[in-house]
Amino acid sequence: MAHHQSPFDDPSNPFQDPSITSALNSQQQQEQLAADGQHHHQQGTLGGYEMDQKTAIEDDFMTDTSFHQVQDTHDPFMTPSGQSSSSNTGTTTANNDDNIIFQQREETLQKRERELAERERALDERQRRGGHGPVRNNFPPCFPIMYMDITMEIPDEHQWTVWWIYREWLLFEITLVLNFIACLVVLFSHPDSVTSGPTNMGVALTEMFTHTAASFFLWYRPAYNAYMKEVSLYYFFYFIFNGFHILYTFYMAVGIPNTGGAGLILLVTLFSDHYIAAGVFTLLATICWLVMGVMAIYLYKRTYDHYKAAGHTFKEAKQDAMVHIGKSDVARGAAVNMAKQSVRR
């Protein structure tokens, strides 16, 4: 059997040279050793790098050379307590001020709305009455000479005061009548200790008529017009003449002889002499004088407070007086006559 020969077994093949074969084997061994050494060197280098890097980071944290640790407990999502308190207090105060201002404005607007509604109501009523003809006089009921209607002409917030001023005037008329009756009873009783009976009765009769008209035109009607028109001049008329009325009321309550007043002095004299009937009428008149005086003082004070609250002044009253004088036909006629006389001279 013939032996199979490789083409490399050919003695003429240069790769079969022993020197060349040994050189190739040695070169392969060196390359293998070099590869293994490089692999181990890379692992050591990587491990060393990792260790060195970890050590460097720990050293940096410990020595605070690269990183700075900031100790801050501040929460960016929460307001500090001091700032929160002051901020909340300031906000609450501002809100309270705004609420107060808003309420004041709301009250002012409501007041203006009520005033406008009242004016519209009065205007509608006047127009309604105007459509049916002129307004008819209704006072006094027995012989109407003027028109008066508190519910229609006086604002709602002042009607209570005007009604009581009207009741004061009615009480004054009742008192004058009782005073005259008391003096008349005293005159017919003719007590020995009372010598001023005829004089008192005559003065009381005169006052019953004169003071009725005077009180109406001098202080009741001005008070009515003052509350209706809010004119300062009418308030001054009321203050002046109603002031005299208050003094007169207490003067009559004293009961000085020969003054026409059935008051305390006459009352004591009558009961001392046991004139019971005359004493009872005198007592009623005295009570009316005192009650009316107290009522007049209260209403006077109430009207004065309203006068000051409305901002009326004496200067405004003088201006109103000049305007009324300028509108008066008598004043115009007098001014024309004076101008003519000055031209003639």
The predicted-structure confidence for 55-99, as pLDDT tens digits, reads as follows: 444 444 444 444 444 455 555 545 444 444 455 555 666 677 778
The pair phi, psi for residue 191, each rounded to 5°, is -70, 150
Residue 235's pLDDT is what?
A: 94
Nearest to 209 by CA among 177, 183, 181, 178: 177
Our measurement of the distance from residue 160's CA atom to the centroid of its chain's CA atoms, rounded to an integer in Å, reads: 22
Top pLDDT among 185 and 42 is at 185
Top pLDDT among 3 and 169 is at 169
What are 146's strand-pairing partners?
139
Residue 121's pLDDT is what?
A: 72
Every domain of the chain and the residues it spans = 158-327
Nearest to 65 by CA among 54, 77, 56: 56
Q: Across the chain, how many H-helices and E-strands are there?
A: 11, 0
Decide if pLDDT at 171 tops 60.
Answer: yes
Pairwise CA distance, residues 27 & 317, whole Å: 136
pLDDT band at 194 (very low <50, low <70, confident <90, very high): confident
Query: What is the chain's length?
Result: 345
pLDDT band at 37 (very low <50, low <70, confident <90, very high): low
The one-character DSSP state at 218 is: I
Contact between residue 267 and residue 283 where contact means Cβ atoms under 8 Å apart: yes
Residue 305's pLDDT is what?
A: 95
pLDDT band at 323 (very low <50, low <70, confident <90, very high): confident
Instruction: Collect all residues with Cβ–Cβ distance below 8 Å to 80 and sequence separation of at least 6.
Output: 74
Whole-number average pLDDT of the chain: 77
Lowest mean pLDDT among 66-80, 142-156, 241-255: 66-80
Nearest to 242 by CA among 230, 224, 260, 256: 224
Residue 178's pLDDT is what?
A: 95
Contact between residue 223 and residue 234 where contact means Cβ atoms under 8 Å apart: yes
| Amino acid identity for residue 254 in this structure | V
pLDDT band at 221 (very low <50, low <70, confident <90, very high): very high
Residue 249's pLDDT is what?
A: 96
Decide if pLDDT at 318 tops 80.
Answer: yes
Instruction: Please state, in angstroms and as integers, the Cα–Cα distance from residue 230 to each residue in 154, 193, 241, following that order.
Output: 10, 52, 18
pLDDT band at 48 (very low <50, low <70, confident <90, very high): very low
- Lookup: tokens for 325: 């004088």
Nearest to 226 by CA among 343, 131, 312, 335: 312
Decide if pLDDT at 204 tops 90.
Answer: yes
Lowest mean pLDDT among 92-106, 128-142, 235-249: 128-142
Pairwise CA distance, residues 166 & 295, whole Å: 11
